[in-house]
Chain A
Amino acid sequence: MDETVAEFIKRTILKIPMNELITILKAWDFLSENQLQTINFRQRKESVVQHLVWLCEEKQASVNDAALLDIIYTQFHQHQKIWDVFQMSKEPGEDVDLFDMKQFKNSFKKILQRALKNVTVSFRETEENAVWIRIAWGTQYTKPNQYKPTYVVYYSQTPYAFTSSRLRRNAPLLGQALTVASKHHQIVKMDLRSRYLDSLKAIVFKQYNQIFESHNSTTPLQERNLGLDVNMDSRIIHENIVEKERVQQITQETFGDYPQPQLEFAQYKLETKFKSDLNGSILAEREEPLRCLIKFSSPHLLEALKSLAPAGIADAPLSPLLTCIPNKRMNYFKIRDK
C-alpha cells in the first residue's frame, strides 16, 4: 500500500470520534467482522488507529477505499461543511429523463478525467435516491490532493445538486461534468447556503410543510396554543389579549404549524438610496446608493424570526424580506432600488 494512502487512511480514522468509530467502520465494510473483532477498542486512540491502519495495509486498501471512508465520515459530519445549492435546467421539449446511475457515474468520471488527468472520483449511493460524489482535485502534473476534496450530493431525476467547499478554479469543470452527465443544459448557483443539508433539501424540494387537512386524519388539527399559561388563575385577564391573538394568527399564517427548516444566517446586500425622515441628514439626498451589508445570524434563524412577533420584539406582520426566505429558496439577497 502506498505511503500516501496509509497516511490518508490514518488521518481520516484519527478524525473519527471514538464513539462513532465502530459504526463508521461497519458502514465502510472494508474490514471484515473478524478483523474488527481482533481490535481492542478500549486502548488509547493512537494504538487503535495504528492497528486499523496495519489491517488496511494487510488488505491492501487502495486510494478508492480510503476515499470511500472519507465519504462516510463526511456523511456522518455533514454539518462541518457549508453547502451550496445548484440548479440545473433542460431545454424545453426534452425527452423523458431515463436516468441510469451507471451511465451517470461513467460519464461524470470521464469528463473530469479527460480534463484533468489526475483526479480521484468516488461515489456512494444513499437510500433517498441521492448519490454522494467525492472529488479530489489534481492537475495535469500534480497528484490529487486528498485533503481538500469537494463533495457533491446529487438527487437523480431532479435538477438539484448540493456542493461543499467553495471552488475557484474547478467550479466550471464541476458544473460541466454534472450538467452533461445528468443530461441537462445549464447550471446556476442558487442564493441559498447552509450547513444543514437536510434543511436545504427541504427548502429546495419544498417539503418543509407536510401538514395537510383531510377527512381521514385521526389526529384533529391542534388547537392553537396562544402561548398563554392555561393553568393561570382565571382571575387574571390579559389587557391586550385581542392584540396577542392577532399576532398569533398572523404568525401562524406566515410560518405555519410545521417545524421550520434550519438555517444559520440570512444576508442582505443593500444598494439602495438612504431614506430618512429627518431633513438635512448627512446620508440623505445623495445620488449614490448606500452600500450596506446586513447579516442575521442564529442557531436556528427561521424559528427565531417566528418568535419575534409573539415575543413582542417586532411588529406583526414581519417584513416580507424576512418571511420569504423558505418560499423564495434564498438566504442571500441583493436589494436595489427599483
Chain B
Amino acid sequence: MEQANPLHPDGESKGGVLAHLERLETQMSKSRKQSEEPQSVQAQEGALGTKIHKLRHLRDELRAAVQHRQASVKASTANVEPNLAVEMNEQEVLEEKLENVKAVLQAYRFTGLSGKLTSRGVCVCINTAFEGNLLDSYFVDLVIQKPLRIHHHSVPVFIPLEEIAAKYLQTNIQHFLFSLCEYLNAYSGRKYQADRLQSDFAALLTGPLQRNPLCNLLSFTYKLDPGSQSFPFCARLLYKDLTATLPTDVTVTYQGVEALSTSWEEQRASHETLFCMKPLHQVFASFARKGEKLDMSLVS
C-alpha cells in the first residue's frame, strides 16, 4: 500500500486526502478483484477442466462409435459388394452369351443347312456351295402339323421338290432335307461350272454355250488354240444323275470333213475322259495353261 505523503497540507491533502482515499479505494477494489480472480480462475479452471474432461470423454465415445460403425459397415459391405459385382457380371455375361448365340445362329448358314422357328413351324434355309464357294440359298417354310406340309418355298420349279416330299417328308424329315440339299447343291454346282465356262473361257469357245434350266445338258464347240485353222471339237455333256456335279455321259466329236490324225484322235479321246473326271471350268483352265505353255515354247 502506498503510504500517503504526510508532508502535503490538508487542503492539498484534501484533494490530496480525498484523492488519496479514492486511490486507496480503487487499490482495494483492485486487490480484491485480484484476490477474487484466482478464486474464479481456479473455479473457472476447475470448470473448464471438467468440461475438457467431459468433451474428451465424449470425443472418445464418438470416436469409438465411429470406429464401430465403420467396422460394421465394412463387414456388411464385405458381404454385399461381391453380390453386386456378381450381378453386374452376370448381366454382361448374359448379353455376351446372347450376342454369341446370335452370331452362331447366323454362322450356321455355312453348314449348308440351317433354320429358324416360325409361328407355324420352321423355315429351313439351304445354302448351296461348290468348291468352297458359297452360292445361292433356298428356303422351305414348313408347317408343323399332322401331316407335315410345305407352306411356301423358293426352290426352282424344275427341281423335283414334290417328288422328294412325297417320298420322305412324312416319314423321315431328315432324309427329305438331305435329299433336297443334294439336288440343290448339285444344281448349284453345275450352274456354277456352266457360268464359269461362259465368263472365264469365252475365248476358247467358238459358239454360244447351249444349256438348259437344270444345267444337265451342256453343248458347246471349242478350240484349244483359237488362232489355228483347225476345226473345233464339239462336246455334249449329259448329267443324268441330278445329284451329281460331274457328267454321266460325254461325247466329244470332231466337226471337220477329213478324218482325224492319230494325235488329234488321242486328244479327242483324252478330252472325253477329262470332262467325265473333272469339273468343266477346271478342264478348260488346264486347256488354257497348256496353251500358255505352247506359247512359251514358241517364244523360246
Chain A residues within 8 Å of B, Cβ to Cβ = 95-102, 129, 155-158, 160, 205-207, 209-210, 212-216
Contact = CB atoms under 8 A, between A and B. Distances in A.
Given A210-B154, A212-B141, 13 more contacts: A97-B214, A99-B213, A129-B212, A157-B212, A158-B158, A205-B157, A207-B154, A207-B157, A212-B123, A212-B125, A212-B154, A214-B114, A214-B116
28 contacts: A96-B241, A97-B158, A97-B214, A97-B216, A98-B216, A98-B238, A100-B217, A101-B210, A129-B212, A129-B213, A155-B213, A157-B214, A158-B157, A158-B158, A158-B213, A206-B152, A210-B152, A210-B154, A212-B125, A212-B141, A213-B116, A213-B118, A214-B123, A214-B139, A215-B105, A215-B108, A215-B114, A215-B116
B81 to A, nearest CB: 39
B268 to A, nearest CB: 22
A129 B215 CA distance: 11
A209 B116 CA distance: 17
Contacts of A155: 157, 213
Q: Is the interface of A mostly helix, strand, loop or mixed?
A: loop
Question: Chain B CB within 10 Å — which of A95, A100, A157, A207 has the most?
Answer: A157
Contacts of B213: 99, 129, 155-158
A173 B217 CA distance: 28
Contacts of A209: 152
B123 A216 contact: no
B212 A102 contact: no
Contacts of B141: 212-213
A254 to B, nearest CB: 12
**Interface residues of chain B: helix, strand, loop or mixed (majority):** mixed
Given A209-B152, A213-B123, A215-B116, A156 B212 contact: yes
Interface of B: 102, 105-106, 108-109, 114, 116, 118, 123, 125, 139, 141, 152-154, 157-158, 210, 212-214, 216-217, 219, 238, 240-242
Contacts of B114: 214-215
B111 to A, nearest CB: 12
Given A215-B114, A216-B109, A157 B158 contact: yes
Contacts of A205: 157
Contacts of A101: 210, 212
Q: Which of B118, B154, B219 has the most CB of A within 10 A?
A: B154
B150 to A, nearest CB: 9
A92 to B, nearest CB: 9
A28 to B, nearest CB: 19
A96 B240 contact: yes
